[in-house]
Amino acid sequence: MMKLNSRALAYISLIFAAILWGTTYPIIKIGFQEIHLAPMTYLFMRFVFALITLSPVLAIRSIRKEVFHLLFRYEVILLGIMNGAGYTLQFLGQVHVTASFSSIMLNTYVLFTPLFNHFFFKNPVDGRKKAAAAAGFIGAAVIAVGNIITHALSVTLYGTLMVLGSGIVYGLYIVYSEKTMAANFRGKRPHPVSLFYASTVSSLLIIFITGLFMRDLPGLSPFPMIALLPVLYLGILCTNAAFILYLIAIKELGAVSSAIYLL
């Protein structure tokens, strides 16, 4: 029986993460258009179910000890804040734009990742990557302007800026994920499952605070039972599974390569 090496496993992880994240956009849109969920309620419940369904991993003693240690590390808290902020911008923006357009704007994180990697961590970017990033930004700008012109200007502009902002935040998140995955906590690198669980606690807190500020949380706005299916799908597969697979890839391939291959 052939045994996969770590690099092959990283590529396979990326493939499955891409498949799962590719389904995110239409599922979110179904929640908005068919079930009429409020954005922060939808997002809050997604992360609540993500944490609940991932919690059985705490039965593993090594994971549990690592999670409780990572919960209070500023690096992990910052990582969770970035993820929560990125998702908040995506959900607020996707109410006003199509699923396909949202995916294009959000995936500009691939263009921001090498730039942030260079400016914040001084990793070199060669001429080909610079040219590719420039071409990508021009393409995204053309698509965005065309979409704004052909739809209601004020509404679509708001949605475009929100989802684009999400792409910027995720560029930072991916670069910082690589740095955090490479850090030594108590003499060892964090396990992807432990890191994701601990950072997701911070993400949920940010989403909760934003939802309170916007008066958009369960209890303040109703949450229909029919919404449980898309929320569970997003929480278990598109949040837990996809992010853990992606962190596995980042650990082996690095932030820039993982972002490019994922796209």
* Nearest residue to 211 (alpha-carbon basis) of 114, 92, 53: 92
Phi-psi region of 41 (alpha: psi -120 to 50; beta: other; left: phi over 0): alpha
Instruction: Tell me which residues of the chain have a pLDDT lower than 70.
Output: 1-4, 125, 129-130, 133, 144-145, 147-155, 218-223
Q: What is the pLDDT of residue 155?
A: 54
**Spatial CA neighbour of 190 closest among 179, 205, 200, 201:** 179
**Could you read off the pLDDT of 128-150 as tens digits, one per residue?**
766 776 777 777 777 766 766 66
Can you give the pTM of this predicted structure? 0.83
Task: Give me the pLDDT at residue 220, please.
Answer: 55
The residues pairing with 163 across neighbouring beta strands, listed in sequence order, are none
Distance of alpha carbon 206 from alpha carbon 209, whole angstroms: 5
* Token code pair at residue 145: 């302007």
Q: Position 9: which residue type?
A: L
pLDDT number for residue 1: 46
User: What pLDDT, on a 0 to 100 scale, did the predictor assign at position 60?
Assistant: 93
Contacts of residue 133, Cβ cutoff 8 Å, sequence gap at least 6: 111, 114, 115, 125
Q: What is the DSSP string of 178-241?
A: HHHHHS-BTTBPPPHHHHHHHHHHHHHHHHHHHHHHTT-SBTTB---GGGHHHHHHIIIIIIII
Q: What confidence tens digit (pLDDT) does each residue in 62-96 have? A: 999 999 999 999 999 999 999 999 999 999 888 88
